[in-house]
């Protein structure tokens, strides 16, 4: 059964990190760009945004390398260098780097008793949330260390749902990347895309930003979508 065929009884919200909670996407790009420049690998922002959003670190490196072959030891060195560059960049990360609307939404969810989890491919998620000053809102963090298969596989979201003891059918995923949207849908969860429509067209609902958006607004939007879907799919008698 698709999400739109049932009422959105949301008991847990699982957030992606990069591009949803904070704009560390740009820090990742700068880190990959530095590595690519040092290794004389063709790379630019368009390449990053077109194919790397939502990928874990290993898959992102493969994407950058293309047909270029390296052995496993060199791969690990490349990954460590990229991560070191990233950690340098986020050294000054703080609450001012939260994306618009996210802090108010977390406060509303917390007050409403909705479980809050993270479902991210990042291996630095705990550190980032601590630096942003919002770690205390989260009941559980599922990240790049949690499961062997990352997005677009549904595993990280299913693991988060299991860890907060909420059925996937009652979870909402908030994502900004196609791989994350695919993962959320594969997990049987509702998916709210945040960003451009053309990038997130498969999500159940899409918002350009969370700025000015309340939890009540999101629930009302999901309920309206479910009702509209049922009306369209109900045959005339």
Instruction: Give catalytic residues, as residue numbers.
Output: 16, 18
192: CB partners within 8 A, 6+ apart: 172, 173, 174, 175, 203, 204, 205, 206, 207, 218, 222
CB 5 within 8 A of CB 87: no
Distance between CA atoms of residues 144 and 125, nearest Å = 8
Angle at 8 between CA 235 and CA 209, to 5 degrees: 110
User: Which H or E run includes 12?
Assistant: strand 12-15
Question: Three-state SS for 153?
Answer: coil
Q: Give the count of beta carbons closer than 10 Å to the beta carbon of residue 171.
A: 27
| Whole-number Å distance between alpha carbons of 189 and 9 | 11
- Residue 226 sits at the vertex; the CA angle it makes with 221 and 230, to the nearest 5 degrees, is 145
Q: How far apart are CA 73 and CA 38, in angstroms?
A: 18
């Amino acid at each position: 059964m698709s999400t739109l065929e049932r009422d959105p009884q949301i008991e847990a919200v699982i957030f992606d990190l990069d591009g949803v909670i904070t704009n560390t996407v740009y820090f990742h790009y700068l880190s990959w760009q530095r590595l690519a420049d040092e290794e004389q690998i063709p790379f630019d922002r368009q390449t990053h945004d077109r194919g790397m959003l939502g990928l874990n670190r290993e898959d992102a490196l493969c994407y950058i390398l293309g047909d270029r072959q390296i052995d496993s030891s060199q791969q690990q060195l490349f990954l460590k260098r990229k991560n070191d560059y990233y950690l340098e960049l986020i050294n000054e990360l703080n609450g001012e780097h939260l994306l618009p609307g996210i802090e108010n939404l977390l406060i509303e969810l917390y007050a409403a008793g909705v479980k809050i989890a993270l479902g991210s491919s990042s291996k630095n998620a705990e550190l980032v949330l601590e630096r942003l000053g919002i770690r205390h809102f989260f009941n559980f963090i599922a990240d790049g260390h949690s499961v062997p298969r990352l997005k677009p596989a549904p595993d990280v979201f299913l693991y988060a749902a299991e860890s907060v003891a909420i059925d996937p059918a009652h979870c909402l995923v908030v994502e900004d990347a196609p791989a994350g949207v695919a993962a959320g849908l594969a997990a049987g969860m509702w998916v709210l895309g945040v960003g451009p429509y053309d990038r997130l067209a498969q999500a159940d609902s899409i918002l350009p930003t969370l700025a000015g958006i309340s939890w009540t607004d999101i629930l009302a939007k999901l309920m309206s979508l479910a009702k509209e879907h049922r009306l369209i799919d109900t045959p005339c008698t």
